[in-house]
Amino acid sequence: IVLAIPLVLKVVPAHVNETTDPVDNLGGILSALLSTDPVDNLGGIFSILMVGGIVLAINFVSMPGYGSTTAAMTAIGVAAGLAFFLQQRRQGRIGNPLYDLKIASRRTFWVAGTAGIIVFGTLMAAMFIGQQYLQNVLEYSTLGAGAAILPAALGMILAAPRSAKLVLSHGSRFTLLCGFFFCLLGFIFMLLLWDENAAYWQVLLGYLPVGIGVGLAGTPSSNSLTNSVPVDRAGMASGTADLQRDLGGALMQSILGSVLTSAYASSFASQIAGNPQASQQVSESTQTQLERSFGSAVTVAEQHPQYAPQIVHAAQTAFLNGSDSAYVVGIAAIILGALVVFFAFPRKDHEVELLAQFHAEDAAATAPATN
């Protein structure tokens, strides 16, 4: 904040398109309250249940004893998703859908949306796991771990302006693929370089490419979403652009977090089973606590100071094994997203043709209402 405020005062131009004309604030409030435009409340409820159910199911799946809860959340998410789809099809015929599936089926829309979900999700997941790695394994302070991710932000800042130029010169498809390449590079570095003895330059090599990848992919994703919809559906494009970050972060953190939790528990159990002395001394309840999380293992270590170094080392080893599994899943998700973009998103010339076709169709659809 201390740095941002002076930069805003120095860089952001003042008095641009400003006016001294009075604003009818009361009229705006009343028009919103008294509006007779129909609102698809049911579609909103279904979408919340769908996303919430799926995200919770992913989080519960790796937790012992929550099988019935996972099944229930999965059922709720799937049922709500099916209901949302059917209800939006019906609303589309009526003419007032919350999410117009016909527009969403356009390749430049759904592929860009999917790409954005994966790219922004990988960034959130990298932060989520990386912060735990820095503090639990490398024993960074909270402030130090937070400062360590700044290269990702720097990468986004440097790449974003160049992304817009790449979209103009090479098209959205090429720019999205460049973004996926850098995200993939970052996760490969995390998998290969992030161990218990990693220096900061190795941490930087993980974060910086991910930031560059997000900076490159963000512009073509948002641009494609906006250009694929008619003017009266601009809110749908804007909402989807926001959804990419929120849903992508929730899904990828949940998926990679569940993989990390499951692999951590499995690794810790294997270490105990491979040590005859530990197998005899560690009770079932203590083992359950050790396998729950790194924080739980630290609590056990504090309760048994004579074994604290061994417990913490075992927890760090288990965390590294779990995080490696999470990075592999992240790499698979990035490759899958890149393949979707490569095969489904049109090349530059075809992209221009499709967008022109969509604009013509949208103009024709609204023409009777304007005559």
Angle in degrees, CA 10, 13, 16, rounded to 5 = 160
Given a cut of 80, whether residue 121 has pLDDT beyond it is yes
- Can you tell me the distance from the alpha carbon of 277 to that of 270, in angstroms, rounded to the nearest whole number? 13
pLDDT of residue 25: 63
> How many Å apart are CA 261 and CA 325, to the nearest integer?
10
Write the single-letter amino acid at 290. L
Segment among 115-124, 186-195, 293-302, 329-338 with least mean pLDDT: 293-302
Task: Give the whole-angstrom CA distance, residue 27 versus residue 35.
Answer: 12
Residue 326 has pLDDT above 90, yes or no: yes
Mean predicted confidence (pLDDT) in 6-26? 73
Contact 162, 179 (CB under 8 A): no
Please work out, in degrees rounded to the nearest 5, the angle formed at the alpha carbon of residue 181 by the alpha carbons of 176 and 187.
Answer: 125
pTM above 0.75, yes or no: yes
pLDDT at 325: 94
Q: Which tens digits make up the pLDDT trace of 172-218?
A: 999 999 999 999 999 999 999 999 999 999 999 999 999 999 999 99
Residue type, 86: L
Percent of the chain predicted with pLDDT > 90: 43
